[in-house]
């Protein structure tokens, strides 16, 4: 009888954000696949979990995929975790999940921590429809991607490195989005969590004066709502 693959979200900041079910699953499975075993060892020690670890990340996922599938097919239950949040959301996981489904292996994803949902909720921007874009390309195709994003009518959620925060905001201004509303949410669920709301121009000025540090989620107003706000301002 085949085993199962469990997708287990881990805290994005505060260790208290892990669920009781996640702890139980991590104790019960035979193996835990970890994006970075050093990071996961810290989590496991904190919750007194002694399950065996195996590295599974973007640099080795193609090489180890077949052996993991074979392992599960022998009846072994495996959990997949990333360094923080839900695996498969801007983290490794898609290839393994797809392969399990193709091999009729049950995939069970636990609900839990992810960075973009809290950021979207606290942004103050419409949440009824939104587009999640994850990380933008670092160089090739970046400007074109930004131009495409500005055509979305829904709220847009993006991740960005602190080293590219100012560049990202400057590119939005250059693309004609200086007056779009935007929220930057940094260090979600951590000690120095903070939210900066305003127009793109205002938030850019803020980060030109204060060096961006930590993990960032940006929530950008959609074209549809920007048009409505502009019309209301004129009236």
User: In the block, which residue shows the tokens 């793109």?
Assistant: 200
User: In the block, which residue shows the tokens 């999640």?
Assistant: 132
| CATH architecture label of 116-234 | 2-Layer Sandwich (3.30)
Q: Quote the pLDDT of residue 151.
A: 96
Q: How confident is the model over 137-148, as a mean pLDDT?
A: 91
pLDDT at 223 over 70: yes
pTM flag (> 0.85) = yes
Q: How does residue 225 score in pLDDT terms, banded at 50, 70 and 90?
A: low
| Residues above pLDDT 90, as percent of the chain | 89
Which of 17, 7, 34, 227 is CA-nearest to residue 117?
17
CATH dotted code for 4-109: 3.40.1010.10
Q: Quote the pLDDT of residue 231.
A: 54
pLDDT at 233 over 70: no
Cα separation, 83 vs 35, in Å, equals 6
Q: Quote the pLDDT of residue 94.
A: 94
User: What one-character-per-residue DSSP string does 147-175 give?
Assistant: HHHTT-SSEEEEEE-GGGHHHHHHHHHHT
Tell me the domain boundaries of the chain: 4-109, 116-234
Q: How confident is the model over 187-214, as a mean pLDDT?
A: 96
Q: How does residue 230 score in pLDDT terms, banded at 50, 70 and 90?
A: low
User: Does this chain's domain 4-109 share its CATH topology with 116-234?
Assistant: no
């Amino acid at each position: 009888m085949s085993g199962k693959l469990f997708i287990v979200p881990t805290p994005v900041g505060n260790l208290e954000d892990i669920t009781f079910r996640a702890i139980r699953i991590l104790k019960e499975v035979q193996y835990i696949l970890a994006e970075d075993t050093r990071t996961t060892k810290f989590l496991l020690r904190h919750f007194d979990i002694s399950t065996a670890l195996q590295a599974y990340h973007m640099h080795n996922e193609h090489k180890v995929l077949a052996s993991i599938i074979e392992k599960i097919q022998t009846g072994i239950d495996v959990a997949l975790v990333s360094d923080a949040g839900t695996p498969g959301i801007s983290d490794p996981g898609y290839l393994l999940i797809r392969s399990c489904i193709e091999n009729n292996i049950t995939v069970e994803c636990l609900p839990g921590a992810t960075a973009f949902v809290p950021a979207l909720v606290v942004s103050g921007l419409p949440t009824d429809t939104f587009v999640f874009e994850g990380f933008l390309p670092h160089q090739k195709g970046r400007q074109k991607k930004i131009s495409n994003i500005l055509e979305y009518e829904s709220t847009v959620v993006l991740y960005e490195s602190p080293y590219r925060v100012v560049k990202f905001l400057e590119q939005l201004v250059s693309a004609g989005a200086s007056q779009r509303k935007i929220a930057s949410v940094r260090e979600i669920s951590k000690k120095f969590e903070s939210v900066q709301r305003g127009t793109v121009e205002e938030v850019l000025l803020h980060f030109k004066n204060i060096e961006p540090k930590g993990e960032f989620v940006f929530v950008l107003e959609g074209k549809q709502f920007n048009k409505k706000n502009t019309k209301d301002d004129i009236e």
